Amino acid sequence: MFKGASLVIWKIVYTKQARKDAKKISASGLRPQTEKLIKVLGENPYQDPPPFKKLVGDLEGAYSRRINIQHRLVYQILDKIKTVKVIRMWTHYE
C-alpha cells in the first residue's frame, strides 16, 4: 500500500474499498498527494493543517481530508489502539 513517514506512531489500516481506491488514485496521478496525507495520519491524525472535517450521516464518526477538489481521504481514528482506518481514498459522495 502507500508508504509514508519514517517515524510512524499510528498504525494505518485499509478497508477493502480503500485498497480498490488506491488503484484509482495511482492511475489518476494523485498518489503523491495521497501519500502526503497518509504520512500526516501516521504521525498525528489530529494535525491541522492540512484541514480535516468531521463527517455526519452514514459516515458519522469518520473524518475527511481533501486529496484534490473532487476526491477525499476518509478515515476513522481508533484512539485506544493508536490506529487510523482508511475507509475511502476516492470520493465519499458515491
Parts of the chain with a pLDDT under 70: 1-8, 92-94
Q: Which domains does the chain have, with CATH numbers?
A: 11-88 (3.30.2310.20)
The cell numbers describing 15, all together, are 478497508
pLDDT for residue 50 = 93
Sheet holding 11-14, edge to edge: 11-14, 83-88, 72-78, 63-66, 53-54
Given the C-alpha cell 493508536, which residue does it identify? Answer: 82
pLDDT for residue 5 = 46
CB atoms within 10 A of CB 62: 19
Distance in Å from the first CA to the final CA of the chain: 23
Closest by CA position to 5, among listed 48, 41, 39, 50: 39
pTM assigned to the model: 0.86
pLDDT in tens, 13-39: 999 999 999 999 999 999 999 999 999
